[in-house]
Structure 1
């Protein structure tokens, strides 16, 4: 790890095929060589990556969204987030998504880090930002995007997580990563 030597757990791709290509997802099936020399198959989804934004009002309230998520057939409470366009700078993507989804622009931006939400079946990464100094300028939702914007205090957020009202993985991971940036 980091010493230039191959990792003893590394798998090596022998060949790859595209199983499905959609608007967002690219499903792959690779034949791989395992560390012991045997072969196996790995199926996974290529994803362009995403951003998530923790937008803080001056009083400490955090901007959230209520959004229906079709795969689970329910509304979720989540932080503003969105897909990175090909070649797009991640901070510019975060600024764009915050503006489009919530109508807010921010004077101050801080990069928190990155996490990988689905390591068993996707190469997706999510870049985390904190935004402060919010100003309402009007939203511009993408076509077919429907959501409600609201705010939560730290106490309301803690209760919502504890009570199971917030279960979205990117929201929970981003809040954990940013915990030292929120005080």
Structure 2
């Protein structure tokens, strides 16, 4: 398992990369017919790793548990350095779908590998394979993902002292945040210099707006 903190990382340089030298993604030109009838072009990024039988590139895991202290439900988040952001990003556990792997299998595998926790699908998560498919940046990327909701039972022996199995080059810190305090905590982390992943930010804003309309 890789050792070190995400906080120790920093960008050293940025240079152009030719498609033939790219391992994970390519820049492509799309030719399309616009509503005015004209043929136009568009530039976008496309991952090279999506299995042919998968509707998405990756899954994002929204893992929750009941607080051991009785303060209500908590959500599991990660701190991970992301070179394009140049910062440590607050995000959900996530990962790319492997060949011949279902989306549910991917979600539970990635959760175990990145966090050490063993989870089970919630009633909402059981329909994971049906979508909806989420387009993370449709103006610039083919990237598609799916959110899978998972419950973690903190009383199970395997969840009392979880041990992640990180890949070479992965440096992830996991932490729990109360759903009641998530919006406030996200703003605090942002003020401290962390980058907030869009999915986490939207999730927190969604919870906050429900409080206004209760």
Partners of 1:129 and 1:175 in 2: CA distance: 16
* Aligned partners of 2:31 and 2:42 also within 8 Å: yes
- 2:137 aligned to which of 111, 114, 118: 118
What TM-score results when the alignment is normalised by the length of structure 1? 0.76
Question: 2:25 and 2:197 mapped to 1: Cα distance?
Answer: 20
Which residue among 32, 36, 50 is the counterpart of 2:58?
A: 50
Offset, 1:141: 0.7
Q: Which runs of 5+ in 1 are unaligned?
A: 1-18
1:171 equivalent in alignment to 2:183 = no
Match of 2:176 among 144, 151, 154: 151
Of the structure 1 ranges 94-103 and 70-79, higher mean CA displacement relative to structure 2 is found in: 70-79
**Does structure 1 retain, via aligned residues, the 8 Å contact 2:62–2:149?**
yes
Q: How many residues align?
A: 161
Gaps of 5+ in 2: 1-17, 51-56, 68-72, 209-214
> Which structure features the higher share of helix residues?
2
CA–CA separation in structure 1 for the residues paired with 2:176 and 2:31: 47
Greater relative CO, 1 or 2 (CA 8 Å, sep 6+) = 2
Q: Counterparts of 1:176 and 1:123 in 2: how far apart (Å)? A: 25
C-alpha displacement at 1:163, in angstroms?
Answer: 4.2
Q: Partner residue of 2:103?
A: 90
The structure-2 alpha-carbon separation of the partners of 1:87 and 1:27, relative to structure 1 and needing over 3 Å to count, comes to farther
1:50 Cα deviation (Å)?
A: 1.2
Q: Distance in 1 between matches of 2:90 and 2:66?
A: 21
User: CA distance change for structure 1 residues 28 and 177 in 2, over 3 Å: closer, same or farther?
Assistant: farther
Question: Matches of 1:62 and 1:127 in 2, distance apart?
Answer: 17
CA contact (8 A) 2:80 2:89 kept: yes
The answer on whether the counterparts of 1:113 and 1:129 sit within 8 Å (CA) in structure 2 is no
Say if 2:23 is the partner of 1:23. yes
Distance in 1, matches of 2:207 and 2:96, equals 20
**Residues 103 and 138 of structure 1 are in contact (CA less than 8 Å); yes or no, is this contact kept in structure 2?**
yes
Tell me what 1:16 maps to. none
Judge conservation of contact 1:52–1:82 (CA < 8 Å) in 2: yes
1:160 to 176, 182, 185: 185
What SS does structure 2 have at the residue aligned with 1:157?
helix
**Residue in 1 that maps onto 2:82:** 69
In 1, the alpha carbon distance for the partners of 2:137 and 2:180 equals 29
Alpha-carbon offset, residue 106 of structure 1: 0.9
1:46-92 Cα distance to aligned partner (Å, 9 max, x none): 23311111111222121111111111211111111111224431111
Q: How many angstroms does 1:164 deviate by?
A: 6.0
